[in-house]
């Protein structure tokens, strides 16, 4: 494709009318000064006030900005201990003790943007540029399925060669792949995507082919920093990106995911930005907030000058704080911690309320099927810190008493959008999570586990089933009997049955 | 329980042709739930795999049956066994006629 054509395409991406319709009094919902005012105003919060906030969160109510700002300002060590303890309790109430596993799939690194922290940026001439063909996409999906994955997060650069039509085709291709995994054909059952903001008409195309969650990270919510770090391309338009998920919801995609790249600006500001984002989605879409929130930390990337320069790098201690505060502030949302983090940090993040993570992660274009083991900076957006395979990650979680889940049930029986939001806030979705986690874990143990992991997994499953039997909720809601039937059917070799 | 045929007829009597599909689906769901304790909800089907809630029961339920009404509309039923197959077929026929 000629450069002039690409340039013209990029110039026509943003549709001003699809920003303006969501503005209130002509302004977006991130007020930089107000955020700083709230952070300042809530300094040295009273202990009892903080405990009241914690209790509100334990009642699974979303916090207000002042309350979140107060949590961000806690300095007392013991009080932080209480916050962290509460974070895990909130997670268990809403999602039980399961961790959903997925695999990221990078299929195009062509990009018209120039983000100063990203290896895919247009001006990085050392990056090996590539867009996978549909056959290559299918090969990648096959490799993921052979590892035991059921859920993919597909990542695309912003470019006319990876536009909505290409994305649509890749989603269909991935769903079409069926691999013999022993007992039955294995498939990717849910395709989530991380792609650039689009117009509503394009988003409808993705909705029609059954896209899972649509994820767009704002990167930084701070206007000036955003403008500085995104000097050109459609991504230089802050508001176009800020309202990407409003447009998605309007197009019908009722599972949307937000995120910020921590390290670009002050971490406390970004937490407040994420909260305001959730509030505005709830306000404008009848209570539907973000399905998940991601909080990746800035990692080393090829020819990305800002990574070395930034003064906002988030320390491990602050990272744990931000995870706990997000958990308490937006109790209903899923929290995703990724392989960017070291294994020990992932373990800790799990104990602070994270609900999803990746495993066997390869983020180079074509990296699953071409099976290259070393990370290659010139094929990746950034470098990851945890390259463990699925089996090791699952075994580790099982040792920690957490069950790995490959559940994709909600999305295939109408528990999405407002329905799932209501079930999350009333702590009912977690009950389904528990049952489906056991069912999919049983599948995975039988089809993919090493002997060592299987042994540990069997003990965990026994404990989980006992908990189900002893919880009156399952009997009262007629869930126990069907669950037991399904479990037996899976043990006998059936696959992909869920509640 | 009343004779099954009467359930089907009662649903038919409650359909309001002046109302849109969504409202009529709500009518069917609330009739079955209020009168017979049968919980159902309806989903839009996307790409043949994603089922997205559009109308019907908001209660917790362990669906015993998922029925594809057609390529874009699905029915999720909590207690399917409460009616016989013929009755469900008649109800599905009414739903198909709504579109």
Query: B71 φ, ψ to 5°?
Result: -70, -15
Out of A91-95, A183-187, A189-193, A269-273, pick the least confident.
A183-187
Pick from A189, A207, A419: CB nearest B46 = A207
- Express each pLDDT in A302-346 by its tens digit: 888 888 889 999 999 999 999 999 999 999 999 999 999 999 999
> Whole domain around residue B8: which residue ranges?
4-98
Please choose, from the candidates A230, A229, A256, A231, the residue with its C-alpha nearest in 3D space to the C-alpha of residue A243.
A256
Please choose, from the candidates A136, A148, A214, the residue with its C-alpha nearest in 3D space to the C-alpha of residue A174.
A136
- Express each pLDDT in A166-176 by its tens digit: 999 999 999 99
pLDDT for res A360? 87
Whether A499 sits inside 8 A of B61 (CB atoms) is no
Average pLDDT estimate for A210-214: 96
Average pLDDT estimate for A6-34: 97
Angle between helices A451-470 and A480-491 (to 10 degrees): 160
Residues A13 and A78 in one domain: no
Taking one residue from A and the other from B, the number of pairs with CB-CB distance under 8 angstroms is 65
Residues A288 and A376 in one domain: yes
- Write out chain A residues lying below 8 Å of B47, CB-based: 171-172, 175, 208-211
Residues A7 and A128 in one domain: yes
Residue A263 in any domain: the answer is yes
Residues A421 and A400 in one domain: no
pLDDT higher than 70, residue A121: yes
CA angle A432, A409, B33 (to 5 degrees): 65
Of A409, A426, A461, the one marking the end of a domain is A409
pLDDT for res A452? 97
ipTM of the shown complex = 0.83
| A123 and A172 Cβ atoms separated by less than 8 Å | no
Whether B62 sits inside 8 A of A482 (CB atoms) is yes
CA A413 – CA A395 distance, rounded (Å): 30
Whether B49 sits inside 8 A of A415 (CB atoms) is no
Cα dist. A275→A141, A271, A295, A326 in Å?
A: 34, 6, 12, 8
- Write out chain A residues lying below 8 Å of B66, CB-based: 413
Average pLDDT estimate for A487-496: 95
Average pLDDT estimate for A204-214: 96
Whether B58 sits inside 8 A of A207 (CB atoms) is no
pLDDT higher than 60, residue B5: no
Residue A468 in any domain: the answer is yes
Mean pLDDT, rounded, of chain A: 95
Q: Please give the share of chain A, as a percent, with pLDDT higher than 70.
A: 98
Q: Nearest 10 degrees: CA dihedral of A122, A128, A129, A133?
A: -160
Residue A371's pLDDT band, with cuts at 50, 70 and 90, is: low
**CA of A422: which chain B residue's CA is closest?**
B58
Close Cβ partners of A265 (under 8 Å, ≥ 6 residues apart): A220, A221, A222, A225, A312
Whether A414 sits inside 8 A of B74 (CB atoms) is yes
CA angle A53, A54, A56 (to 5 degrees): 65
Average pLDDT estimate for A335-358: 96
Please choose, from the candidates A32, A75, A11, A498, the residue with its C-alpha nearest in 3D space to the C-alpha of residue A225.
A32
Whether B52 sits inside 8 A of A171 (CB atoms) is no
Residues of chain B contacting A, Cβ within 8 Å: 41, 43-44, 46-53, 58, 60-64, 66, 74, 76, 78
Cα dist. A300→A230, A304, A377 in Å?
A: 18, 8, 9
Residues A405 and A416 in one domain: no
The total domain count for chain A is 3
Close Cβ partners of A489 (under 8 Å, ≥ 6 residues apart): A497
Residue A461 in any domain: the answer is yes
Please choose, from the candidates A443, A439, A437, A435, the residue with its C-alpha nearest in 3D space to the C-alpha of residue A479.
A435
Residue with tokens 């689906």: B25
Close Cβ partners of A132 (under 8 Å, ≥ 6 residues apart): A107, A108, A140, A170, A365, A366
Residue A496 in any domain: the answer is no
Q: Token pair of A374, please?
A: 């070393």
Q: Token pair of A193, please?
A: 């995507």
Handedness of CA A12, A18, A19, A25 (dihedral sign): positive
The total domain count for chain B is 1
Average pLDDT estimate for A421-446: 94
pLDDT for res A21? 97
pLDDT higher than 60, residue B1: no
First to last CA, chain A: 47
Q: Token pair of A435, please?
A: 């049952």
Whether B46 sits inside 8 A of A210 (CB atoms) is yes
Query: A67 φ, ψ to 5°?
Result: -65, -40
pLDDT higher than 90, residue A49: yes
Whether B52 sits inside 8 A of A417 (CB atoms) is yes
Pick from B44, B60, B66: CB nearest A428 = B60
Residue with tokens 């207690």: B79
Residues A475 and A345 in one domain: no
Residues of chain A contacting B, Cβ within 8 Å: 171-172, 175, 189, 207-212, 252, 254, 411-419, 422-423, 428, 431, 477-479, 482-483, 499
pLDDT higher than 90, residue A181: no
Please choose, from the candidates A276, A220, A228, the residue with its C-alpha nearest in 3D space to the C-alpha of residue A38.
A276
**Burial bucket for residue A458 (CB in 10 Å: 0-12, 13-18, 19+):** middle
- Express each pLDDT in A297-312 by its tens digit: 998 888 888 888 899 9
CA angle A348, A353, A359 (to 5 degrees): 65
> Whole domain around residue A85: which residue ranges?
32-89
pLDDT for res B89? 93
CATH label of the domain that carries residue A280: 3.20.20.70
pLDDT higher than 90, residue A375: no
Residue with tokens 């201990």: A81
pLDDT higher than 90, residue B40: yes
User: Which of B38, B58, B62, B79 would best serve as a mutation to test chain A binding (most A beta carbons within 10 A)?
Assistant: B62
Residues A69 and A163 in one domain: no
Whether B46 sits inside 8 A of A411 (CB atoms) is no
Residue B7's pLDDT band, with cuts at 50, 70 and 90, is: confident
pLDDT for res A374? 60
Whether B47 sits inside 8 A of A209 (CB atoms) is yes
Concatenate the DSSP letters of all residues of A143-169 into one string.
HHHHTT--EEEEEE-SSGGGSHHHHHH
Residues A360 and A435 in one domain: no
User: Which of A205, A414, A486 would best serve as a mutation to test chain B binding (most B beta carbons within 10 A)?
Assistant: A414
Of A387, A409, A431, the one marking the end of a domain is A409
Pick from B58, B60, B66: CB nearest A413 = B66
Residue A3's pLDDT band, with cuts at 50, 70 and 90, is: confident
| A385 and A342 Cβ atoms separated by less than 8 Å | yes
Q: Token pair of B33, please?
A: 């739930």
Cα dist. A476→A26, A94, A290, A486, B22 in Å?
A: 50, 19, 30, 18, 30
| B56 and B26 Cβ atoms separated by less than 8 Å | yes
């Amino acid at each position: 494709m000629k450069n002039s054509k690409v340039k013209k395409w990029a110039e026509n991406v943003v549709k001003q009318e699809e920003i303006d319709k969501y503005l209130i009094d002509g302004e977006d919902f991130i007020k930089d000064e107000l955020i700083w005012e709230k952070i300042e105003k809530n300094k040295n919060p009273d202990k009892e006030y903080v405990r009241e906030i914690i209790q509100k969160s334990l009642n699974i109510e979303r916090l207000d900005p002042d309350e979140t700002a107060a949590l961000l300002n806690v300095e007392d060590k013991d009080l932080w201990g209480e916050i962290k303890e509460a974070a895990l309790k909130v997670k268990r109430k809403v999602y039980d003790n399961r961790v959903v596993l997925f695999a990221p799939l990078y299929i195009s690194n062509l990009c018209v943007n120039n983000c100063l922290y990203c290896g895919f940026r247009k001006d990085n001439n050392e990056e090996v540029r590539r867009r996978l063909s549909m056959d290559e996409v299918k090969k990648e999906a096959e490799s993921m399925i052979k590892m035991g994955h059921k859920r993919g997060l597909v990542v695309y650069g912003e470019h006319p060669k990876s536009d909505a039509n290409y994305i649509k085709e890749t989603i269909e291709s991935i769903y079409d792949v069926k691999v013999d995994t022993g007992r039955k054909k294995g498939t990717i059952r849910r395709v989530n995507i991380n792609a650039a903001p689009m117009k509503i008409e394009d988003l409808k195309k993705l909705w029609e082919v059954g896209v899972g969650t649509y994820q767009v990270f704002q990167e930084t919510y701070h206007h000036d920093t955003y403008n500085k770090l995104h000097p050109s391309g459609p991504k230089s338009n802050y508001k176009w990106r800020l309202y990407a998920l409003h447009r998605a919801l309007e197009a019908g995609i009722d599972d949307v995911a937000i995120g910020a790249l921590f390290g670009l600006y002050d971490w406390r500001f970004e937490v407040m930005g994420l909260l305001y984002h959730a509030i505005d989605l709830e306000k404008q879409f009848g209570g539907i907030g973000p399905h998940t929130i991601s909080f990746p930390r800035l990692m080393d990337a090829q020819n990305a000058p800002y990574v070395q320069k930034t003064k906002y790098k988030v320390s491990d201690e602050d990272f744990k704080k931000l995870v706990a505060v997000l958990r308490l502030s937006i109790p209903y949302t899923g929290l995703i911690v990724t392989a960017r983090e070291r294994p020990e940090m992932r373990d800790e993040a799990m104990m602070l309320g994270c609900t999803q993570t990746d495993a066997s992660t390869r983020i180079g274009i074509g990296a699953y099927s071409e099976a290259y083991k070393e990370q290659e900076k010139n094929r990746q957006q950034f470098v990851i810190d945890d390259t463990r395979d699925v089996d090791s990650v699952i075994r580790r979680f099982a040792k920690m008493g957490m069950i790995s889940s490959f559940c994709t049930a909600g999305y295939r029986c109408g528990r999405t959008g407002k329905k799932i939001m209501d079930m999350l806030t009333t702590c009912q979705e977690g009950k389904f999570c528990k049952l489906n986690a056991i069912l999919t874990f049983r599948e995975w143990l039988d089809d993919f586990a090493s002997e060592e992991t299987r042994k540990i997994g069997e003990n965990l499953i026994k404990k989980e089933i006992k908990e189900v039997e002893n919880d009156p909720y399952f009997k009262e809601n007629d869930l126990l009997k069907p669950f037991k039937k399904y479990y037996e059917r899976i043990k006998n070799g059936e696959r992909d049955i869920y509640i | 329980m009343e004779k099954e045929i009467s359930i089907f007829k009662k649903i038919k009597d409650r359909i309001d042709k002046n109302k849109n599909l969504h409202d009529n689906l709500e009518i069917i769901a609330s009739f079955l739930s209020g009168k017979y304790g049968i919980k159902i909800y309806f989903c839009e089907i996307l790409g043949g795999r994603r089922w997205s809630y559009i109308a019907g029961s908001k209660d917790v339920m362990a669906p015993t049956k998922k029925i594809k009404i057609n390529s874009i509309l699905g029915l999720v039923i909590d207690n399917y066994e409460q009616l016989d197959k013929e009755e469900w077929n008649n109800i599905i026929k009414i739903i198909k006629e709504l579109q």
